[in-house]
Amino acid sequence: MTRSIRIIENMLHDLRVRVVNKLRRTSLRQMESFSKGDIYTKISQDTVTISQSAFFLVNIVQALVMVVCCLLYIAWLSPGAFFMTVIGIIIAISIYWGHRQKLVRDMAEMNKKEGEIVEAVCDIVEGYKELYGNQKRNEGVFKHYSGLAEESRTVKVRANDTFILEIMFTQIFFYLLIGAVVFILPEIVPTYSVVVIRVTAAILFIVNPLDIIATTAPLITRANSALKNIYDLDDVLTAPQTDADRPFQAPSQFLNFQEITGHSLQFTYRDAENNPLFTVGPFDLHLMRGETVFFVGGNGCGKTTLMKIICGLYQLNSGELRLDGQRLEQNNYQDYRELFSVIFSDFHLFDRLYGQEEVDPTTVNNWLKKMDIAHKTQFSKGRFTHTDLSTGQRKRLALIVALLDDRPIVMLDEWAADQDPQFRTFFYETLLAEFRAAGKTVLAVSHDDRYWHLADRVVKMEYGQLARNLYGASTSQNETCQ
Ligand SMILES: Nc1ncnc2c1ncn2[C@@H]1O[C@H](COP(=O)(O)OP(=O)(O)OP(=O)(O)O)[C@@H](O)[C@H]1O
């Protein structure tokens, strides 16, 4: 028993690790298409359901072995009794199967509802500030949550009713079976009376295992449905894998690149039905190592999307990127991505320096001083003592983490937007100059027109197109829209 449970737990562990491993390497577009609640439910709750059912699954296997042995014994004693018992079991299984389909449907619905409930709870937790001061919105979110919880309860109650019905049915079936072999069979088969006691004993022997099978089968159905959810996620994640199966070997083969060129680059957001929503490009691109380029333009014109295209987070729909003339292919895209230290406006701040374990704590603490947050957080034992900082301070910390990677290209999406005027000036006038002196290429989305003169070029975007260079000449031909 313990060995079997260990086998199931090992299998589950491997499956979960495999799915999370795929998840961390899937394309950004696919990640954006998932609902958080759905992923959390599948990876945590569904695996718990399977774990909890492991014990019962082992029990069911033991019970099945017992039933088969007893049936063989009954067959040896009396083919008539065996025939009757098997017919009875087949009828019972058919009726159970009818219920099972209903149970499977209820389980699928229950899982969907649980995912939606997790999403609603995330809304309450993450949107707390927006809700606390707005009673009407607060009530609205809670009503939505309560509605989902109510629907989930209805489905659960319905599933439990089916479950209990099955157990009752199984018990009635056993009594009918025993009654048939004890009272009816002797009337039909005259020679049967000789073995009736032994057949009855054998049937009594399989009552308990059959009971175990009947009562635990719905749990197994539940576990099966949970397993299907995880396998579905596993399957979905298989298709759009990019170059992730090739382990990346640091340092990047492009570390010493001199120029990045793009020709007819284009990317389109599409909805679930594949209808186009917004297109960036087609445009040509030319970036020289060590350049500081600002990308500017109105809200929604495509600056962030452009950044995601340039740093390789979005796969191009058409066009090609080249580094020093070498075309980027699936097998070297990761090398390309490794050139960038990126901070988007919706960045995530890890509380420890994953992948940078060998970093010197003094270097990190010096950076904290330089960024004027050393009085708020310290780097100690491989992690930051506090990450509960103000938005501007969190961005400074994110910049430190990005710079510690020491990559040749620094990409910042409206990084300075949340900085106070003093630090904003420090960023544009001092930090950017230091990046330039260190030979870094800086690609920054900026709305601070006061500082645009500090860039080598300022490129304006309009409606998904690179409109023109507002400031500074392109290093070769202008980036052009086509
Ligand atoms: N994940 C997405 N799925 C579908 N459409 C998207 C997605 N992200 C952005 N868009 C659309 O693409 C367009 C460009 O968005 P993007 O975030 O690139 O603009 P932006 O110039 O960075 O805007 P802002 O200055 O407001 O940050 C927008 O119209 C937006 O609706």
Domains of the chain by residue range: 2-238, 259-471
Q: Give the pLDDT band of residue 191 (cuts 50, 70, 90).
A: low
Pocket test for ligand 1, best of 271, 277, 306, 343 (most atoms within 8 A of CB): 277
Reply yes or no on whether the pLDDT at 143 is more than 80.
yes
Spatial distance between the Cα atoms of 435 and 442, rounded to a whole number of angstroms: 8
For the Cβ of 281 lying below 6 angstroms from any atom of ligand 1, the answer is no
Class of domain 259-471: alpha beta
For position 472, what pLDDT does the model report? 60
Same fold? 2-238, 259-471: no
Reply yes or no on whether the pLDDT at 466 is more than 60.
yes
Task: Tell me the CA–centroid distance for residue 309 and ligand 1, in Å.
Answer: 12
Q: Nearest C-alpha to atom 26 of ligand 1 is from which residue?
A: 299
Lowest-confidence segment of 72-81, 166-175, 283-292, 400-409 by average pLDDT: 166-175
Average pLDDT over the chain reads 84
For the Cβ of 277 lying below 6 angstroms from any atom of ligand 1, the answer is yes
427 touches 371 (CB < 8 A):
no
Report in angstroms the alpha-carbon separations of 84 from 17, 87, 98, 170, 474.
48, 5, 21, 16, 88
Q: Which numeric CATH code is attached to 2-238? A: 1.20.1560.10
For the Cβ of 303 lying below 6 angstroms from any atom of ligand 1, the answer is yes
Q: What is the mean pLDDT of residues 353-365?
A: 86
Instruction: Pick the closest to residue 336 from 275, 248, 403, 265 (CA basis).
Output: 248
Q: Nearest C-alpha to atom 27 of ligand 1 is from which residue?
A: 299
Q: What is the mean pLDDT of residues 44-52?
A: 81
Reply yes or no on whether the pLDDT at 44 is more than 90.
no
For position 407, what pLDDT does the model report? 93
Supply the DSSP symbol for 243: S
Strands (E), 352-464: 379-380, 383-384, 409-413, 441-445, 457-462
Supply the DSSP symbol for 427: I
Reply yes or no on whether the pLDDT at 288 is more than 60.
yes
Whether ipTM > 0.95 holds is yes
Give the predicted TM-score (pTM) of the model: 0.75
Question: Helix (H, G, I), strand (E, B), or coil: what is residue 281?
Answer: strand
| Beta-strand relationship, 292-296 and 457-462 | parallel
* 86-127 pLDDT, tens digit each: 887 787 777 777 777 777 788 778 878 888 888 888 888 888
Is there a cis peptide before residue 408, judged by omega within 30 degrees of 0?
A: no
Find all residues with CB under 8 Å of 141, minimum gap 6, and list them. 120, 123, 124, 127, 131
Strand partners, 444: 294, 412
Q: Which two tokens stand for residue 215?
A: 């009562």
Q: Nearest C-alpha to atom 4 of ligand 1 is from which residue?
A: 269
Q: Give the pLDDT band of residue 34 (cuts 50, 70, 90).
A: confident
